[in-house]
Amino acid sequence: MSHQIIDILRSDKEYYSGLGKNYLSNSDIGDLIKNPQMFGVPSEDSLPFLKGRFFHQSILEPDKIKDYQIVDASTRTTKIYKETLAESTEKILLLQKEVDEIKLWVDAMKSNMDFFNMIYTDYESYEEPAVGEIHGKQWKGKADIVKPDYLIDLKTTREINGFKWNAKKYNYDSQAYIYQELFGKPLYFLAVDKETCQLGLFRPSESFLKSGESKVIQAIENYDKFFGKEATQRVEDFYFDEVLD
């Protein structure tokens, strides 16, 4: 793994929009498997992404949250929000009440000693990128927390009791597989319920990782079929062919 490439990919701009575009990532899995026509199409800034980024940086890079523009408005239809947004370079801004909610999630994680120690004790690095070959393709990943023996990814959820069942829906299985391949360490998920602030530690099983690997293989097959140098089909001709059981 080139140290120069890793240094470049530590920049979010390079990771998402620059050099990192030369690599496949877990965020491509859903499109390649379910809607290849959307592969490579830049995603619009969204409120869930913005809130998720604020949550992560509040825990891992708190010095960066001072750069966020926060509007003390009841909704995004108010005059003060629209005026502030018009003067901003951002496409969407956080409301103060949303920031207050996110701080509850952050406090929940930091106030639990087990979680606190996993996040802040004996860590090697935060937001650490890695690249490597998996099943013949170049992949990238950026771990929230790199520990001596494992990785940690921070998640928020609306139903902590259903996290186990929803994890595959959101492709956390392929994320766990890809990251374990790239970093050579297992990936654990630390999750907080956005409604109750209840916490959960989730560790992938071998079957969970196998499920993730199957998705990676399927994504690669579709990539080669529609976008490879020897593509055999037009992406516009994609359709589902599944057995219902």
pLDDT band at 26 (very low <50, low <70, confident <90, very high): very high
Residues 104-128 have pLDDT tens digits of 999 999 999 999 999 999 999 999 9
Quote the number of domains for the chain.
Answer: 1
In a domain, 217, yes or no: yes
Tell me the per-residue pLDDT of 53-86, one tens digit each, with 9 for 90 and over.
999 999 999 999 999 999 999 999 999 999 999 9
We report the CATH number of the domain holding residue 117 as: 3.90.320.10
User: pTM for this one?
Assistant: 0.93
70 in a structural domain: no
Q: Round to whole Å and give the CA distance between 144 and 30.
A: 21
Q: How confident is the model at residue 2 (pLDDT cuts 50, 70, 90)?
A: confident
Question: What's the rounded Cα separation, in Å, for the pair 60 and 183?
Answer: 19
Does a structural domain hold residue 89?
Answer: no
CA distance 190 to 200: 6
Do 186 and 150 form a contact (C-beta atoms < 8 A)?
yes
pLDDT of residue 1: 57
The answer as to whether 213 is a domain residue is yes
Do the domain assignments include residue 195? yes
Range(s) of the domain holding residue 179:
3-40+112-237
What does pLDDT average to over the chain?
Answer: 95
Residue 15 lies inside a defined structural domain of this protein: yes
Q: Residue 115 class from Cβ within 10 Å (0-12 exposed, 13-18 middle, 19+ buried)? A: buried
Average pLDDT over residues 187-203: 98
